[in-house]
Amino acid sequence: MRRFNGKVAFITGAASGIGRAAAVAFAREGARVAITDRSEAPLQRLRGEIEAGGGEVLAVCCDVSVPEDVDVAVARTVERFGRLDCAFNNAGVENKAAPVHEIALDEWDRILDINLRGTFVCMKHEIAQMLRQGGGVVVNTSSGAGIRGVAGGASYAASKHALIGLTKSAALDYAKANIRVNAVLPGNIETPMMDRFTGGDIQKAIDLEPVGRLGKPEEIAEAVLWMCSDLGAFVTGASISVDGGWSL
Give catalytic residue positions. 156
Q: CB neighbours (10 Å) of residue 212?
A: 9
> Using CB atoms within 10 A of its CB, is residue 235 exposed (0-12), middle (13-18) or buried (19+)?
middle
Count of alpha carbons within 13 angstroms of residue 186, beta-carbon side: 26
Fill in the amino acid letter for 49.
Answer: E
Q: CB neighbours (10 Å) of residue 59?
A: 23
Fill in the amino acid letter for 220.
Answer: I
Which residue(s) pair with 63 in the sheet? none
User: Which are the contacts of 106, defined by CB distance < 8 A and separation ≥ 6?
Assistant: none
d(CA 116, CA 110): 10
Give the distance between the most distant pair of CA atoms in the chain.
Answer: 54
Which residue(s) pair with 35 in the sheet? 11, 59
